[in-house]
Amino acid sequence: MTPLAADLLLLFRRDLRCLIREVELFPNDTALWRTVPGIANSAGNVALHAAGNLRHFVGAVLGGTGYVRQREREFAQREGTRVEVAAELEAAIAAVEAGLAAQTDASLQAPFPTPIGGHRMSTRRLLLHLEAHLAFHLGQVGYLRRVLTGDAASAGGMAIQDLAEP
């Protein structure tokens, strides 16, 4: 695995595991699907979206996992268990592992295999974007959980110690 892919894998794993902890911190399955005025998507929807996004772009496109994304379902679903959502996030970890393991220095510099929204960019740049996208949604889920539950408990997101060299 290239050094960049290894660093990205460390970040993706850290943030996906924290997102799993955020989902698990909801007091019950129903709360995961609630929203507040002005917020269109529940924490459950955001978590499914983060998982589907990574399973598609990193797992299927780069890693050949065969995953078929159902983006509309990510936002339309209105119920499910915390365990089911956590399982989708665990599957995203496996997809990211598969996709990043397949990368070489040359493939990271090459254009991503498919245009995104009609735009072309290097695989390296898209992977950096996907990690920032995940971190953005991790923060959304954390804030939404706190607002909905009044529980200020930390899920340990963005833990710098998780990045320390062995």
- Write down how long the chain is: 166
According to DSSP, residue 4 is labeled H
Summarised one tens digit per residue, pLDDT across range 52-97 is: 999 999 999 999 999 999 999 999 999 999 999 999 999 999 999 9
- 82, 145 contact by CB (below 8 A): no
Helices marked H in 26-120 = 43-54, 63, 71-76, 82-101, 105-109
- 43, 26 contact by CB (below 8 A): yes
**Counting beta carbons within 10 angstroms of the beta carbon of residue 139, is it exposed (0 to 12), middle (13 to 18) or buried (19 or more)?**
middle
Tell me the average pLDDT across 123-152.
Answer: 97
Tell me the average pLDDT across 31-56.
Answer: 97
**Which of the four pLDDT bands, split at 50, 70 and 90, describes residue 164?**
confident
Tokens of 107: 């493939």
**What is the amino acid identity at position 121?**
M
Total domains in the chain come to 1
Q: Which domain holds residue 65?
A: 3-163
**In this predicted structure, what is the pLDDT of residue 166?**
74
What is the model's pTM? 0.96
**Which of the four pLDDT bands, split at 50, 70 and 90, describes residue 165?**
confident
**In this predicted structure, what is the pLDDT of residue 159?**
80
| CATH code of 7's domain | 1.20.120.450
d(CA 4, CA 59): 17
pLDDT at 111 over 80: yes
Tell me the average pLDDT across 34-47.
Answer: 97
**In this predicted structure, what is the pLDDT of residue 16?**
98
Phi-psi region of 29 (alpha: psi -120 to 50; beta: other; left: phi over 0): alpha
